[in-house]
Amino acid sequence: MSDFIALDLPLVLLSNRGPVSFDRDATGRTVGRGAGGLVSALSGLAEHLDDAVWVCGAASEEDTVVAGENAGSSILVQTHPQPHLVDGEPEGPAIRVRLVVTDPAAYADFYSVWSNPILWFIQHGLYGRSLSPVLTRAEHDAFENGYAAVNRAYADAVVSEVRSRGGKALVLLQDYHFYLVADWVREQCPDVVLTHFVHIPWPGPDEWRILPGDIRERLLRGLLGSDVVGFHTRRYARNFVLCAAELLGLPADLDKLTVTVGDRVVRARYYPISVDPAALDATQASEEVAAHVAMLRYLFLDDDRQLLLRVDRTDPSKNVVRGFLAFGTLLDQHPELVGRVSFLALLQPSRTDVPEYADYIALIGGVVAEINARHTKEGRQPIDLRMVEDFPLAVAAYSICDVLIVNAIADGMNLVAKEVAVVNRRGGVLALSEMAGAHEELGEFAVTLQPFDVQQMADAFYTALTMPIGERHRRLAAAADQVRTHDVRRWLDDQIVDLRRIAGFI
Amino acid sequence: MSDFIALDLPLVLLSNRGPVSFDRDATGRTVGRGAGGLVSALSGLAEHLDDAVWVCGAASEEDTVVAGENAGSSILVQTHPQPHLVDGEPEGPAIRVRLVVTDPAAYADFYSVWSNPILWFIQHGLYGRSLSPVLTRAEHDAFENGYAAVNRAYADAVVSEVRSRGGKALVLLQDYHFYLVADWVREQCPDVVLTHFVHIPWPGPDEWRILPGDIRERLLRGLLGSDVVGFHTRRYARNFVLCAAELLGLPADLDKLTVTVGDRVVRARYYPISVDPAALDATQASEEVAAHVAMLRYLFLDDDRQLLLRVDRTDPSKNVVRGFLAFGTLLDQHPELVGRVSFLALLQPSRTDVPEYADYIALIGGVVAEINARHTKEGRQPIDLRMVEDFPLAVAAYSICDVLIVNAIADGMNLVAKEVAVVNRRGGVLALSEMAGAHEELGEFAVTLQPFDVQQMADAFYTALTMPIGERHRRLAAAADQVRTHDVRRWLDDQIVDLRRIAGFI
């Protein structure tokens, strides 16, 4: 990546999962690095700065031990060539980390009651409202003793890091785990310049009305402690401003996307997150991916056959069941495709402790069996369902698929679509839900899916499979160009430019 | 009711159910009158005018016979003292009616596929989106051959009635069955002045995105054929304007609630529907109600006991299950109330051919049995569940309840709350969902319910039951005054004033 821009102020990052994690093996303490585009982009930024710190949760037992050894202060981890704790001056790129330890029961209420079921369900529109949620005293208590208590602990750590840097810093908060932090940090450190970035969809006021009035008000007021509330798309930012107007009665401008809170103006902005193309290129060039490509070609692409692909967590928001129903409809209505088109689904089981998620996996298995029973021809099953998390296998499949299917009913961004745009070498067509954030950027190069409409999706799959190859390559090249020129570094740089402007440095 | 205001133009009304219905008995053809506040308000208006016609569906076999005898033209029905068909000049108040006959299969697709399940579910937020709806070719076909075809037939009847009146008329269209009519009527009769009133909630764009893109666009464009699209509340009107902006990309003003369509400006307006207080007073004064009151007092109100009441259809949007769960929580947390508080639920079974509705009735029975098993004391069951439709019994219960519970998760207006405000004589407290349209008008006099939050509702019931009697009567008097000064006639007059202004008569 190119050089990072100057910040002029110290940087304090906050996310639930951090850039490093500690463990133990026979040789003693080990240090691992976090994965994913977000962590690598933020890590790159933090490594580059002398005065940055990353506040995150102690996720492992050994994290908690390390945090205890450095109670109330940050640690320095050299990240290259081999990650290790540093005492004194590092001899390579390093990140300063502040590990926050919270009570396990409080953390469970924070994470497994509020963040992942309730907030995730609200923000992805997953509740069947006639029957769920049923909010009781237990949920109220879990908010107070869990979500709010854990937010307070993280906010205290952020405040302590800001204060030790003179009380003025750029603060970047991440995601739906920490909606109460910004307001508390601003109260203690009024000179911070702060962005809270929300990585998942932000629905309109009606969806938020599912939550108790006092809780939805606290969540919104918490976020409004920010200078900028960042989202992936204009629609989410617009919905946020609408919530502030309708649920809090605050003066709001739906065109400028601003909310007035006392004498402050809070801006809702959209910065579409993206991928790290160089890292993807490197993975694609690996021998492991080459081996997978050869295997997948052998299984799915002899004799001019075609391959549809999906790569998702088994989250109900990903809409896997209707995706398969649409594929079944495609084969019903175009029998000439039976035996000539395969659908490879690489699904990573997710949150199987949540009943809706476990039930959803069973439904997926059921619909796959039913379609395979109906349409297997000459020993070839049309759907190959693999419950795996294997990134090199996914990259191999990305590179040779004819159609990528992203049919989420709600998805903050969806990075799989962007990964395929960068990696595919076959003129792969993106079949992209209008409800995925990525559709705002890539929709014009994609075949649009309407995720509740099985017939529309079946028709769209057919359009994608029969699109002339020149058109396929033209669209893919345009999508790849969009992603490569709007990578994850740009996502980060745009936010920092806005914060430096607010701080008066530009 | 007081005199109706002058219209200056002929009037054409459209609703699915009309003001009269024909049947046969041993004596031959019989004529009955429609019930309910809407029909009686519109009937009063139509009876008062020489040049009015009401277009509605032929609902019974005999309706179809009558329509056939008068193919393509309207009939005149004298409404008082005894309703009968008139040939020539009526000798009392009369309504001109145009019965529309449609193909039964088309009507079934219109009514039982699109209007009642799909549009009702979308507009009340009832879909659990991860699994339903699954829209297939069958739903597309039912839209085209059912909803659109039936809308076309009604639109043709409206056009023929407008043309026979010189091509210029005030047109009042009613409800979610006819979203495609306004645009078609305007195309044929550009001089009409037209309001389409939507009697159920209008959600934001995200909910409408569940529908196929072409269908949601046709529904919106159909409605935008109106001069005014009427709703019960500002929130619904705002959501409609937001839909036009976001889903159609039309220029819209969210403050003025206008949408620009070509060279026309369409106004979203809110006119809260209401009740006919005089008719309610008359019912309350009847001997039948007095007998019910005596019985209910004996059953529920001896020894300073208190009565909670709900009167609803068994529609999942009414939130009956969570209402009982909240009552169970109340008794759990306030054992001193056990044996001293009863909950009478008069529920009218509804749409039992829809699986979700049938399932919901079973859930209601289950939760009632469970709470009655837990809290029956000295032979008194806390919940008395009656699956009946009995308006005099309901009015009797209205008049003597201590608390009326309306905890809908979504409800266009909810007239039960307004009926109780007029009829109650015991300082009854309205416990009113913030999601019911009535909350915009009556919320300040009510105890607010947050319908997903069982604990909040239990606390609110307790607040209502323990409110000082003076405060109870003060609030009830204020609510009654609001309803009596904003009755159903005012709802209608306000719309007509707006239309006459648009037509240039004011």
Write the pLDDT tens digit of every residue in A151-195. Answer: 999 999 999 999 999 999 999 999 999 999 999 999 999 999 999
Considering only CB atoms, A212 lies closest to which of B136, B210, B450, namely B450
Nearest residue, CB atoms, A452 vs list B133, B137, B356: B133
Using CA coordinates, name the residue in chain B closest to A215: B453
Match 């399932």 to its residue by tokens.
B359
Q: How far away is chain B from the Cα of A133, in angstroms, using its nearest Cα?
A: 6
- List chain B residues with CB under 8 Å of A363: 131
Distances (CA, A) of B463 to A212, A228, B458: 17, 40, 9
Inter-chain residue contact A129 with B452, CB threshold 8 Å: yes
Question: Could you give the residue ranges of the DSSP H alpha helices within A127-230?
Answer: 137-142, 149-163, 181-188, 205-208, 213-223
Tell me the pLDDT of chain B (506 aa) as tens digits: 446 677 889 999 999 999 999 999 998 999 998 877 678 778 888 888 888 999 999 999 999 999 999 988 999 999 888 889 998 888 889 999 999 999 999 999 999 999 999 999 999 999 999 999 999 999 999 999 999 999 999 999 999 999 999 999 999 999 999 999 999 999 999 999 999 999 999 999 999 999 999 999 999 999 999 999 999 999 999 999 999 999 999 999 999 999 999 999 999 999 999 999 999 999 999 999 999 999 999 999 998 999 999 999 999 999 999 999 999 999 999 999 999 999 999 999 988 888 889 999 999 999 999 999 999 988 899 999 999 999 999 999 999 999 999 999 999 999 999 999 999 999 999 999 999 999 999 999 999 999 999 999 999 999 999 999 999 999 999 999 999 999 999 999 999 999 999 888 88
When scoring B453, B456, B457 by the number of chain A Cβ atoms within 10 A, the one with the most, hence best to mutate, is B453
The proportion of chain A whose per-residue pLDDT surpasses 90, expressed as a percent, equals 87
A130–B434 C-beta distance less than 8 A? no
From CA A270, how far away is CA A236, in angstroms rounded? 8
What is residue B41's predicted lDDT score, i.e. its pLDDT?
A: 79
How far is the alpha carbon of B434 from chain A, nearest alpha carbon, in Å?
Answer: 9
Q: Which among B128, B135, B235 has the least Cβ separation from residue A453?
A: B135
CB contact under 8 A, A136 and B455: yes
Nearest CA in chain B to A455: B136
At B20, the amino acid letter reads V
Chain B interface test: which of A332, A453, A459 (most B C-beta within 10 Å): A453
Residue A4, pLDDT above cutoff 70: no
Interface predicted TM-score of the whole assembly (ipTM), two decimals: 0.93
How many beta-carbon pairs below 8 A join chains A and B? 118
Number of H helices, E strands in chain A: 20, 19
Q: Which of A131, A136, A434 sits opposite B454 (nearest CB)?
A: A136
Cβ of B360 and A207 within 8 Å?
Answer: no
Name the residue in chain B with its Cα closest to that of A329. B136
- Owner of token pair 């009946």: B388
The torsion angles phi and psi of A94, rounded to 5 degrees, stand at: -145, 155
Return the residue of B nearest to A459 by Cα: B137
B21 three-state secondary structure: strand
- Determine whether A422 is exposed, middle or buried from the number of CB atoms within 10 Å of its CB (0-12, 13-18, 19+): buried
- In Å, how far from its chain's centre is CA B244? 24
Residues of B in contact with A217 (CB under 8 A): none
Q: Identify the pLDDT of residue A41.
A: 79
Looking only at the bridges linking them, the beta strands covering B52-57 and B11-14 are parallel
Strands A403-406 and B447-449: unpaired
Length of chain B: 506
Contact check, Cβ <8 Å, A329/B136: yes
Average pLDDT, chain A: 95
Q: Is B148 helix (H, G, I), strand (E, B) or coil?
A: helix
* Per-residue confidence (pLDDT) for residue A395, from 0 to 100: 97
Residues of A within 8 A of B329 (CB-CB) are 136-137
DSSP class per residue in B38-56: HHHHHHHHHHH-SSEEEEE
Q: Where are the beta strands (DSSP E) in A175-263?
A: 193-197, 228-231, 252-253, 258-261
Tokens of B453: 């939050």
Chain B closest-CA separation from residue A455 CA (Å): 5
pLDDT at B1: 44
Instruction: Collect all residues of chain B within an 8 Å Cβ-Cβ radius of residue A434.
Output: 209, 213
In CATH terms, is domain A1-102+151-273+487-506 a member of 3.40.50.720? no
pLDDT in tens, A73-130: 999 999 888 889 998 888 889 999 999 999 999 999 999 999 999 999 999 999 999 9
Looking at CA atoms only, how far is residue A320 from chain B in angstroms? Answer: 9
Over residues A412-457, the pLDDT tens digits come to 999 999 999 999 999 999 999 999 999 999 999 999 999 999 999 9
Query: Alpha-carbon distance A265 to B446, whole Å?
Result: 34
Chain A interface, mutation test: which of B119, B124, B126, B130, most A Cβ atoms within 10 Å?
A: B130
Residues of A in contact with B450 (CB under 8 A): 209, 212-213
Helix (H) or strand (E) holding B16: none
CA A329 to chain centre: 31
Of A432, A447, A171, whose CA–CA distance to A318 is shortest? A432
Helix or strand or coil: residue B195?
strand
To the nearest whole angstrom, how far is the Cα of A360 from the nearest Cα of chain B? 9
B7-29 per-position pLDDT tens digit = 889 999 999 999 999 999 998 99
β-pair partners for B96: B76
Instruction: Identify which of B15, B10, B6, B11 has the alpha carbon closest to the alpha carbon of residue B273.
Output: B15
pLDDT of residue B504: 87
Of residues A206, A246, A317, nearest to B125 (C-beta): A206
> Residue B435: which of A133, A209, A450 has the nearest Cβ?
A209
Which pLDDT band holds residue A1 (cuts at 50, 70, 90)? Answer: very low
Tell me the chain A residues in contact with residue B134 when contact means C-beta distances shorter than 8 Å. 322, 325, 452, 454
Pick the more confident residue, A478 or B377: A478
Output the CA angle A355-A356-A357, nearest 5 degrees. Answer: 90
Residue A149: how many other CB atoms lie within 10 Å: 19
CATH class name, domain B277-485: alpha beta
Fold of B104-273+489-503: Rossmann fold (3.40.50)
Name the residue facing A454 among B134, B410, B456 (closest C-beta): B134
Integer Cα distance of A418 and A421 in angstroms: 5
Task: State which residue of chain B sits closest to A319, comparing Cα positions.
Answer: B130
How far is B59 from chain A, CA to nearest CA, in Å?
Answer: 30
| Residue whose tokens read 């009926």 | B419
Strand partners, B11: B52, B170
Pick from B164, B180, B270, B272: nearest CA to B226: B180
How do strand A75-78 and strand A84-86 relate by DSSP bridges?
A: antiparallel
Beta strands (DSSP E) in B289-340 are 306-313
> CA-to-CA distance for B402 and B327, rounded, in angstroms?
14
B104-273+489-503 against B277-485: fold identical: yes
pLDDT surpassing 80 at residue A6: no
Hey, how many other C-beta atoms are within 10 angstroms of the C-beta on B29? 13
Instruction: Return the domain boundaries, chain A.
Output: 1-102+151-273+487-506, 277-485
